[in-house]
């Protein structure tokens, strides 16, 4: 036979705290699962939209400087992964590699600025994360600054400005 003993107040307080923590953890797990599902359903579409926007924007820029070899920007795409490699030639040479990682819900972006001088190339790396605004719409957010890009046009501008100008942010 077991007898139930009334718990002391301090134990009740700990129990209440643990239940609150469990509820918060459960909510965090549910949010993460919802985001992972949203990335699985929409991530590739967002990457494809970004790739199309970047190509359109680069074509428009290069078209403004027809015949200028210093602005003959080359873009390589990998259809399977959605990766992009953009190269701008000297004198202000820049290479941008954008590598999607749907498993991590992120884009890894690496800029490589090569100067005409004898200085070594400068490499800048940043992460753009997939984010969910709570309304089942997948957006992109700069991991370092928290800036949210509401459209592929806004993200294209952000990514391409250093390439087109040849200057880091």
Span 102-136, pLDDT tens digits: 888 899 999 999 987 777 889 999 999 988 777 77
Distance CA 100, CA 134 (A): 22
Q: What is the pLDDT of residue 112?
A: 95
Q: Is residue 74 part of a domain?
A: yes
Domain count for the chain: 1
Q: Is residue 88 part of a domain?
A: yes
Distance CA 95, CA 81 (A): 18
Q: Is residue 31 part of a domain?
A: yes
Q: Is residue 19 part of a domain?
A: yes
Q: Is residue 3 part of a domain?
A: no
Q: Is residue 4 part of a domain?
A: no
Residue 91, preceding bond cis, omega within 30 degrees? yes
Q: What is the pLDDT of residue 1?
A: 56
Q: Is residue 99 part of a domain?
A: yes
Q: Is residue 2 part of a domain?
A: no
pTM beyond 0.85: no
Q: What is the pLDDT of residue 115?
A: 80
**What residues in the chain have per-residue pLDDT under 70?**
1-3
Structure tokens, 69? 């070899």
Alpha helix (H) residue ranges in the chain: 9-64, 152-165
Domain holding 158, by residue range, is 9-165
């Amino acid at each position: 036979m077991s007898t139930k003993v009334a718990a002391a107040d301090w134990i009740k307080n700990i129990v209440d705290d643990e239940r609150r923590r469990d509820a918060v953890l459960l909510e965090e797990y549910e949010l993460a699962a919802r985001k992972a599902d949203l990335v699985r359903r929409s991530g590739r579409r967002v990457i494809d939209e970004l790739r199309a926007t970047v190509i359109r924007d680069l074509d428009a820029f290069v078209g403004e400087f027809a015949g200028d070899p210093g602005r003959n920007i080359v873009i390589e795409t990998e259809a399977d992964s959605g990766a992009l490699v953009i190269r701008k030639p000297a004198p202000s040479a820049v290479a941008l590699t954008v590598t999607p990682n749907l498993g991590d819900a992120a884009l890894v972006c690496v800029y490589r600025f090569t100067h005409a001088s004898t200085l070594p190339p400068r490499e800048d790396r940043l992460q753009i994360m997939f984010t969910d605004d709570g309304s089942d719409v997948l957006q992109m957010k700069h991991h370092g600054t928290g800036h949210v890009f509401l459209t592929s046009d806004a993200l294209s501008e952000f990514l391409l400005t250093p390439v087109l100008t040849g200057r880091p942010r």
